[in-house]
Amino acid sequence: MSALNLTEKILKDHLVEPAELPAAGDLIKIKIDEAFTQDATGTMTMLQLEAMGIDRVKPLSVNFVDHSMLQSGFRNPDDHEYLRTVAAKLGIIFSPPGTGICHFTNMENFVKPGMTGVGADSHTVNAGGAGAIFMGAGGYDVALAMATGMYTMPMPKIVKVNLTGKLAKNCMAMDVILKMLEIVSVKGGKGIIFEYAGPGVKTLSLTERATITNMGAEMGATTSIFPSDENTKAYLESRGRGGDYKPLAADADAKYERVIDVNLSEIEPLIAIYSSPGNVEKVKDHAGTKIHQVCVGSCTNSSFENIATFAEALKGKRVKVDTMLYPGSRSVAMQLADAGYIKMMYKAGVRIMENGCGACIGQGGSPPSGGITLRTFNRNFPKRSGTDDAQAHLISPLVAAMSALSGVITVPENKEIKINVVPPVIDTDSFIMPEKASKTEGIIRGPNIMALPDFEPLPDVVKGEVLLKLEDNISTDDIQPAGTFLPLRSNVKEYAMQATFRLVDGTFSKRAVEHRDAGGSGFIIGGENYGQGSSREHAALCPRWLGIRAVIVKSFARIHVANLVNFGIVPLTFKNAADYDKIKQGDKASFDASNLSGELTLVINGETKIPLEAAFDMDVISTLKAGGALPHFKSTYKG
Ligand code: MIC
Ligand code: SF4
């Protein structure tokens, strides 16, 4: 048998169809070992799972609560109660608010080398740090994985990242992934699994590896993976899970699509400048810039080692700007306390916040007007911080500490920071296991849990108006902002009316609904990498509710295109990118959808003909025709 890389080994092990791994781009169906949601995507996922008529989930499944935890009013607590009780009914583990960020808590407790998983959150790829193939997906696809234990995806291209050397003392894993973003860009990872290998791998701990795989989401990658080795073993043993360890690596002469060489010794402290994780520059080129806030945490950088390094750098000193810490999990917070770091950070003036996403998703922690905030997070899209005219730059926890102390962007000195390593605190008691959950309570649906909307099939001719024309790199934060709107995630109508494209064009929702109610179908035109960022299916669901039936762009981000199909919006790309310039907002548009496998043409104002290409796979045509995945599932699933 020919030599295999690590990705091929795991995919082969889980392959259901076809019999052999096909060429890149062809669809594969794989067995899924774990599926999970978080609260912001979870309520819709669970509503869809219920609508599928499933009694019990097939793979290991978890509902985490970590995004929307402020509970200011009934909405969040209603969502949490629904997620808890639906979990008990369907055999899903429930991770209550305060337990930790989904990806973090997942790594601590459930991920094993060689596993496959999908999660309703783009940073599910975090688990690749432990030698597993985990991917972000829309809520419907996660519900389907829970129901069937399977996931269908295009066979990825596999790119090797050959790590050599060792990081300088003033660099951290965050600098490695920022370096990758500089090399690959925010859209260069599409359709790719990055497989890290080479002698540099052993210099990185498991949580450092997870920082790197986590933020692989920002390259648009399918996922990223590290081998499973002695460092993986050490992590699992430290958590009392030594039995979950197995060594895994690519065969020596495995083949790859291409190889990217990264010499860790040559990396300098890096910073992603507002407003894209892809705007990577050297910290030294921004040294001295005044800052107003520092935030440490998020699923990218909230391990014990990350926060202990941050705390040690502050030891005996006092921060000059508002500085907030969000520990990755209750387990990490307790370990920090045992090591004396919680007190050290309080004494340094740090505000210690809840274990969860917090400021990363705009749930509090907004910077002041016009301010500059430094964040150890993974996204700095416009307005995501909650302050429209503030700027967020992304940095390592070490740069965060030194800059918090000086009040200006600061390059850390190249000297060793020793941390006090104490054993992790195991926190499995926080979970509500389905076998222990109440059997009599039933599913609790407070008034915030709205029924799923019903959507009609696709008409043969889609006719209406171009309601919005957009630029390149439109993120799902632009389409369907999160932050203070998160409590509306379970209420499609309100979320669509109040938030869809609000940050781009405040008139959009009203115009779209009027157009829809007058019988028109809405069209959206966009540039490259449309739908980058989050996996939130609301960025398809809400536009669909507002009457959008086709999105035509130069190129799409991976997860978003699947979400559009799932909600019956036809995703199309221009055959000739230059045709983008021939269309204006407000133009009349029509599109013959009767034969989606044939020639596809957009007609503008009854005369200009624009050739299009399908951005969907041919085998989802019946889904599109049915008006979306759920109506299609209900009519075809045999159990
Ligand atoms: C994000 O970081 O944007 C989120 C919030 O975690 C999302 C999921 C969501 O929108 O709920 C993600 O990354 O997929
Ligand atoms: Fe939460 Fe931020 Fe990670 Fe998304 S990126 S899961 S909001 S911590």
Q: Which secondary structure element, helix H or strand E, spans residue 626, and what is its range?
A: helix 621-626
Q: Ligand 1 centre from 118 Cα, in Å?
A: 14
User: Quick one: pLDDT at residue 437?
Assistant: 87
Q: How confident is the model at residue 639 (pLDDT cuts 50, 70, 90)?
A: low
pLDDT in tens, 67-100: 999 999 999 999 999 999 999 999 999 999 999 9
Kindly identify the ligand whose nearest atom is closest to the C-alpha of 120: 1
SS3 content of the chain, % helix, strand, coil (to 5): 35, 20, 45
State mean pLDDT over 580-609: 98
Ligand 2 atom with least separation from CA of 298: 8
Given a contact cutoff of 8 angstroms between Cβ atoms, the answer to whether 58 and 146 are in contact is yes
Q: Degrees (nearest 5) of the Cα angle 216, 221, 227?
A: 65
Given a contact cutoff of 8 angstroms between Cβ atoms, the answer to whether 480 and 495 are in contact is yes
Residue 184: pLDDT over 80:
yes
> For residue 389, what are its two tokens?
């005219």
Peptide bond just before 275 cis, omega within 30 deg: yes
Residue 637: pLDDT over 80:
no
Q: Ligand 2 centre from 412 Cα, in Å?
A: 26
- Kindly report the length of the chain: 639
Give the residue carrying structure tokens 């959009």.
508
Q: Ligand 2 centre from 297 Cα, in Å?
A: 9
Number of other residues whose CB lies within 10 A of the CB of residue 219: 24
State mean pLDDT over 512-539: 98
Query: How many Å apart are CA 293 and CA 368, to the nearest integer?
Result: 8
Q: What percent of the chain has pLDDT over 70?
A: 100
Residues with CB under 6 A from ligand 2: 67, 101, 121, 123, 298-299, 357, 360-361, 377-378
Query: How many Å apart are CA 399 and CA 418, to the nearest integer?
Result: 16
CATH of 6-266, one of 3.40.109.10, 3.40.50.1820, 3.10.180.10, 3.30.499.10: 3.30.499.10
**124, 85, 89, 122: which is closest to 105 by C-alpha?**
124
Letter for the amino acid at 4?
Answer: L
Residue 369: pLDDT over 70:
yes
State mean pLDDT over 121-146: 98
Q: Ligand 1 centre from 535 Cα, in Å?
A: 6
> For residue 413, what are its two tokens?
């000195």
**Ramachandran angles phi, psi of 347, nearest 5°:** -65, -30
Name which residue sits closest to atom 7 of ligand 2, judged by CA. Answer: 361
Fold match between 6-266 and 461-636?
Answer: no
State mean pLDDT over 112-132: 98
pLDDT in tens, 218-245: 999 999 999 999 999 999 999 999 999 9
270-412 maps to CATH 3.50.50.60: no
User: What mean pLDDT, rounded, does the chain reach?
Assistant: 97
Domain boundaries, the chain: 6-266, 270-412, 461-636
> For residue 424, what are its two tokens?
């992790």
State mean pLDDT over 294-321: 98
pLDDT in tens, 400-447: 999 999 999 999 999 999 999 999 999 999 999 999 888 789 999 999
Kindly identify the ligand whose nearest atom is closest to the C-alpha of 359: 2
**Ramachandran angles phi, psi of 143, nearest 5°:** -60, -45
User: Across the chain, how many H-helices and E-strands are there?
Assistant: 19, 26
Sequence-distant (≥ 6) Cβ neighbours of residue 519 within 8 angstroms:
none
Q: How confident is the model at residue 309 (pLDDT cuts 50, 70, 90)?
A: very high
Pairing of strands 258-263, 223-225: unpaired
pLDDT in tens, 334-364: 999 999 999 999 999 999 999 999 999 999 9
Kindly identify the ligand whose nearest atom is closest to the C-alpha of 477: 1
Q: How confident is the model at residue 1 (pLDDT cuts 50, 70, 90)?
A: low
Given a contact cutoff of 8 angstroms between Cβ atoms, the answer to whether 554 and 528 are in contact is yes
Name which residue sits closest to atom 2 of ligand 2, judged by CA. Answer: 360
Residues with CB under 6 A from ligand 1: 40-41, 67, 121-123, 136, 361, 379, 482, 533-536
Q: Helix (H, G, I), strand (E, B), or coil: what is residue 444?
A: coil
- Which residue(s) pair with 153 in the sheet? 28
State mean pLDDT over 601-608: 98
User: Quick one: pLDDT at residue 638?
Assistant: 67
User: Quick one: pLDDT at residue 636?
Assistant: 84
Q: Is 329 left (phi over 0), alpha (psi -120 to 50) or beta?
A: beta
Q: What is the CATH number of domain 461-636?
A: 3.20.19.10
Q: What percent of the chain has pLDDT over 90?
A: 98
Q: How confident is the model at residue 544 (pLDDT cuts 50, 70, 90)?
A: very high
Instruction: Give, for ligand 2, the residue of 38, 41, 101 to mutate: max count of ligand atoms closer than 8 Å to Cβ.
Output: 101
Instruction: Give, for ligand 1, the residue of 300, 488, 534 to mutate: max count of ligand atoms closer than 8 Å to Cβ.
Output: 534
pTM of the complete model? 0.98
**Ramachandran angles phi, psi of 390, nearest 5°:** -85, 160
* 308-to-127, 208, 346, 415 alpha-carbon distances in Å: 22, 13, 13, 16
User: Quick one: pLDDT at residue 38?
Assistant: 98
Is the sign of the CA dihedral 30, 52, 107, 206 positive or negative? positive
